Amino acid sequence: MPDFSRERDAMVDSQIHTADVTDRRLLKALRTLPRHKFMPKSKAAVAYADCEVEAAAGRWMLRPRDLGLLIHAAQVQPDELVLNIASGRGYAAAVLSRMAETVVCVEADEALVKKSSDALADAGCDNAAVLEGDPLKGAPGQGPYDVIFVEGAVEETPRVWFDQLKDSGRLAVIVRRGSVGKAMIYTRSGDSIGQRVVFDSTPRIIPGFEKAAGFVF
């Protein structure tokens, strides 16, 4: 049986620390949460490897490095409300739940809603809830949010997400166009949206998030 605790430590030491992620709450979450339990059992052997993992048909978890860097860049605070869009099997939500006051997840796939809810409950993440809905629309009824986090890439960023941010709220998402991908932090200031690139990455585009009418950036 693999020593998952040792593999988690190796993941943090070789992939996360070396990327200059320094937030102690984030590092602790990555060291302690059982990533292998948020994916199919058949994928457990690569749970802590430096690669994307297919969590369901067409749905891929970010590389640990990219996940850690993007959460770190979002600067999640202990009293904040976070929306996790296209939350998949719930691993990113679990990490975020260790850093924020409350995490709301929105996921369209009914089976993933059930699997992620069960995995979050088993991990003791009782401040994270998974809603079944259209990730393109976000979850406006639960907001506005301090942070919106997207696990996976989009070709364009839906305008409606910005409307669900609080003033000074941050949207963390990887925008990929062809072979070029940029991890972005968008920040709302009144009616204006600022943006900055935090690193390069080319994860797979989440199904349904290809470029279409109604997108802004």
CATH code, 4-200: 3.40.50.150
Per-residue pLDDT in tens (0 to 9) along the chain, 217 residues: 578 999 999 999 999 999 999 999 999 999 999 999 999 999 999 999 999 999 998 899 999 999 999 999 999 999 999 999 999 999 999 999 999 999 999 999 999 999 999 999 999 999 999 999 999 999 999 999 999 999 899 999 999 999 999 999 999 999 999 889 999 999 999 999 999 999 999 999 999 998 753 455 5
pLDDT per position as a tens digit, 16-59: 999 999 999 999 999 999 999 999 999 999 999 999 999 998 89
Please report the beta strands in 108-191, taking only residues with DSSP state E, as ranges in sequence order: 128-132, 145-154, 165-177, 180-189
Please, how many CA atoms are within 13 Å of residue 176, restricted to the half-sphere of its CB?
19
Delimit the domains of the chain by residue range.
Answer: 4-200
Beta bridge partners of 199: 183
For residues 79, 66, 189 and 169, what is the CA-based torsion angle, rounded to 10 degrees?
-20
pTM listed for this prediction = 0.94
Q: Which two tokens stand for residue 84?
A: 């996790």
Rg (CA), the chain: 16
Which DSSP symbol is given to 23?
A: -
